[in-house]
Chains A and B, each alone.
Chain A
Amino acid sequence: MSSFWFWIIPFSALTALLFAFFFFKQMMREKEGNETMKKIAHHIRVGSLAYLKQQYKIVSAIFVIIALIFSFLAFGLNVQSPWLPLTLISGGFFSGLAGYLGMRTATYASARTANAAMESLDRGLKVAFRSGAVMGLVVVGLGLLNVSGWFAILSYFVETSLPSQKLIMVTTTMLTFGMGASLQALFARVGGGIFTKAADVGADLVGKVEAGIPEDDPRNPATIADNVGDNVGDVAGMGADLYESYCGSILATAALGAATFAGSQFSADLQLKAVLAPMVIGAVGTLLSIFGIFLVRAKSDASSKDLLKALNTGIYASAGLIVVVSLFILHLLELPNATGIWGSVVIGLLTGIAIGKATEYYTSPLYSPTRRVAEQASKGPANVIISGLGEGMISSSFPVLAIVVGTFLAYAFASSDFGFGSKSMTMGLYGIGMAAVGMLSTLGITLATDAYGPIADNAGGNAEMSGLDPEVRRRTDTLDSLGNTTAAMGKGFAIGSAALTALALLASYIEALKMGMQNINMNSILINEISIPTHALTLENLMVYYQVHLLNPKVLLGIFIGAMMAFLFCGLTMNAVGRSASKMIVEVRRQFREIKGIFEGTTEPDYAECVKITTLSAQKEMLAPALFAVIAPVAVGIIFGVAGVLGLLTGALAGGFTLAVFMANSGGAWDNAKKFIEEGNFGGKGSESHKSAVIGDTVGDPFKDTSGPSLNILIKLMTMVAIVMSGVTVSFSLF
């Protein structure tokens, strides 16, 4: 019976990849438009691939170095799992592959979307959305393939003395594969984020403000880099990010399932089903996502309202169906308190929707917060900045409260214990993991709506640079604006799942500690003068043994350092954008000065040089923040031990999550306040209000596209590193 459940996972993975290939081929059959459109798309494609090639070169070198260190720790010092170097590289490789395939599709899709929009709005939507679906399905397909592949391999090879320990060992080893994915995601998000904003700021400041030429003008040498940035940051970065979230939520929940049902009172089959449950929900959610993608269709004369309805039909149908189907799955798996666990899955989905709606409320020009920011623009740039910061800070309260309520309910439903008794703790934590899985179960379609946005954005840029008919540009603008609306939901799911996954990972860290103890042959520990075998340790035992309580200064110091890490990381990435943008500015000025005929449009600027300069700068700048994220948990673990690490992770989660929401929403509000003014409000284009709003938008760019989205990965990467290095922490901690 259990093997049947297992085979659903690779089946779903391959189906997703097959449909991704089908959608890719379908998109490639579309015409790319006239020669200018093709030429612009070619420049962007070449630039994007050159960026990724350079990034993967550097990241590969880093992965090899880390894998060698892990090999030494595993085979030399025996403090790590011997699988670690392999799982690390595998996680990194597939995360990078997901980003690469998604980005490659996006770079082929933009001109085709613009060309399809010449025919009608719904044709444009179909090409852009199906191309976004390639990204969504590649991410979930590769994720499920990896998870099921490693599960099969490790189940075959891993041997333990106690049968109930085998699945714990398998799932905690699989968690280490998440570190590779997280590290790759961090490089993709930070590097891509720095690139895209440096190019954007460079293009705007020199092209628009100094030279006075409009946005997306082919005479601007930074224009192509700006469009490349949309692809490497918004598409490849987001793909790697969500691949990591998706796998992380499934792996953490599987590890918690193995630990929860490891006792002698549970059968081996039940433990296996608890491990498979999050994977199966993810797999079935993927099939439902494909179904949802086919529901997104509109008539040829559809209005933008019809298109939004079509997109929402797909998203909500998939989400609604997974709610129903997951109830059957959990009951068929015969998990104890299946309805309660199902309640956690539903709570996860509802929390994601609530955060998505809050994101939309705080960043859409249809609602008062963004309009208030726009109104402040008429008072001057300082007011815009103050107002954007204020609204962003206020906006963080709802998502945090949604996570609080969601976590509370997910825990309570799964444990059937609203009194939060210690006996039902592991079941409650399993519920939190299932909530994250529920939220990401239909990632195939939610990511499609997210990835579709940058494709429509690039299509608009292509239409602009190619001088297409204003009606076509209006259509691509409509598609872009639709993408922004639906992406708010995707962002809600990404942010919410990051918080829930990080919570589940935090619990998994305790399980990983047990594995670390076993790796160094620590087979039992003394608690209250009673010797307890390591494999039989409960969460409470470990909390007592490592003195994880708020009166332990090591926990408090860890919390401080964790909260500080979020700010340090943001500061480093923001400054990196500033430095990279400066290099871009110097280059654009040089080209305007030295290359004759750029202004007349008779000579093409050297686009490649701008891409090259920003690429190298972004690669250099991404290293320091990423290394801090890797080093911090190791250093805190060695100095303050397990208690310090748990404090660090808690501080980073609480501080980082709140900061991430604030930065993303402030940036979104500034951006949309500017667009609201450009639509003819508070003085419209050319007014002092507009000038102030442009300043706000420029400040907000690294907020929403570099630092904010990277924070989610920082939190999870630090947890992953802590999990992977638990053996080192246990073996070498000084205090």
Chain B
Amino acid sequence: MKIYFYLSLVPESLIASNLPPEDFGTYYATGAEKQSRGQAIFFEVSPFESNYFSFQDAESACVPHGDGQPKNSVYMGIYRVLEHIPLSSLKSLYLVTDDGKVLGIEQASFSETEPKHSYYLYQECCPTSSIVVSRLNSIDFCASMTNREHPISVSKLVFCDLMLDELANDADSQNIDDLPYERIPHLRNCLHQLEQNPQKMTKVFHRGIYPNVLYRTVNYGFFVGDHTNVLYYPLPSRHKLEREYYQWWRSALNTFRR
């Protein structure tokens, strides 16, 4: 039976499985007995040369059960997994809703799509999990956060950009009805700090742990990168989500931030 490799963002882990991505996503969100519920985000990974992970061991462990049922998951490693996976091995990204609806998205060219704003809001998904406001666009933000010369940095980062609506250009705008964030005054305050201090590039808006990404707030898509390279996974347009991926989108809209 074929073996697939997945990089899960929460918890950060590399997993081998006999399940193809859609089935793995459903299993991962709802459990083998369908009793569990929880959002999942993962990349499919091509095998690569590694001294850190043992693909050989995984292949020998990831075999179907005696009754022929596929092996759901064999954990190959947890903690500091992302930094040990080359970006070139990352294939599609899969976004799974609480009830196990899976949307696969492909890499695309980034520069053509993102317009310039004064401010951006990013949710870090792995290995850190803060929400930060920044004056940097996605590429520059990724480069900044993965600059190892900087004391506060990681070697690789997965993050997504979130909607700011009119706040993206005007921190005092009142037209923010459709933004589901808590503590909007604090958000404004963070934006004002960027505004008042031109040297400041980023400001943490929320340092707590947000295991969930509220998919409906994702602006353009997901990014994964290191200091030199960024991969971009665009979320389909709202129109396309409603027409072509409606079941996933309905399920995504049903999510509350937990």
Contact = CB atoms under 8 A, between A and B. Distances in A.
Given A214-B251, A592-B34, A599-B30, A686 B178 contact: no
Given A467-B246, A470-B243, A685 B30 contact: no
Interface in A574-611: 592-593, 596, 598-600
Contact of B255 (A212, A600, A680, A689): A212
A529 interface: no
B254 A599 contact: no
Nearest to B29: A212
Given A470-B243, A600-B26, A686-B217, A211 B179 contact: no
Interface in A206-221: 208, 210-215, 217, 219
B180 A686 contact: yes
B253 A686 contact: yes
A690 B255 contact: no
A682 B26 CA distance: 32
A683 interface: yes
A691 interface: yes
Nearest to B184: A683
Main secondary structure of the interface of A (DSSP, over half): loop
Contact of A599 (B26, B182, B257): B26
Nearest to A684: B178
Contact of B34 (A598, A683, A688, A691): A598
A189 B246 CA distance: 36
Interface in A510-564: none
A215 B246 CA distance: 13
A449 B15 CA distance: 57
Given A212-B97, A212-B98, A681 B177 contact: yes
B47 to A, nearest CB: 28
A687 interface: yes
Contact of B256 (A213, A592, A690): A690
A258 B26 CA distance: 72
Contacts of B98: 212
B161 to A, nearest CB: 17
Interface in A154-210: 208, 210
A683 B99 contact: no
Q: Tell me which of A215, A593, A686, A688 has the highest count of chain B C-beta atoms within 10 A of its own C-beta.
A: A686
Interface residues of A, number: 31
Given A212-B99, A467-B247, A470-B243, A599 B34 contact: yes
Nearest to A219: B99
B246 A683 contact: no
Contact of A686 (B177, B251, B257): B257
A704 B209 CA distance: 39
B26 A684 contact: no
Given A211-B99, A213-B251, A599-B100, A686 B246 contact: no
B254 A214 contact: yes
A54 to B, nearest CB: 31
A637 B177 CA distance: 58
Nearest to B254: A214
B180 A687 contact: yes
Contacts of A469: 243
A471 B72 CA distance: 38
Interface string B221-258: 00000000000000000000011001100110111110
Contacts of B132: none
A691 B179 contact: no
Interface in B3-34: 26, 30, 33-34
A111 to B, nearest CB: 19
Contacts of A214: 99, 250-251, 253-254
B188 interface: no
B199 interface: no
Nearest to A677: B177
A686 B30 contact: no
A315 to B, nearest CB: 34
Q: Tell me which of B33, B178, B214, B253 has the highest count of chain A C-beta atoms within 10 A of its own C-beta.
A: B178
B37 interface: yes
B203 interface: no
Interface string B169-181: 0000000011111
A686 B99 contact: no
Nearest to A212: B98
B35 interface: yes
B206 interface: no
Contacts of B216: 684-686
A684 B255 contact: no
Contact of A210 (B37, B177, B214, B247): B37
A289 B209 CA distance: 61
Contacts of B37: 210-212
Interface in A450-466: 464
A212 B182 CA distance: 21
Given A593-B35, A599-B34, A600-B26, A684 B180 contact: yes
A219 B26 CA distance: 14
Nearest to A685: B253
A373 B145 CA distance: 43
B180 A683 contact: yes
Nearest to B33: A593
Given A593-B35, A600-B26, A686-B253, 17 more contacts: A212-B37, A212-B97, A213-B254, A217-B250, A467-B247, A599-B26, A599-B34, A599-B99, A683-B179, A684-B179, A685-B216, A686-B255, A686-B257, A687-B179, A687-B257, A689-B180, A690-B180
Interface of A: 208, 210-215, 217, 219, 464, 467, 469-470, 592-593, 596, 598-600, 680-691
8 contacts: A219-B99, A467-B246, A470-B242, A599-B30, A600-B26, A680-B177, A688-B182, A690-B180
Nearest first, the 3 A-B pairs at minimum CB distance are A687-B180, A212-B98, A680-B178
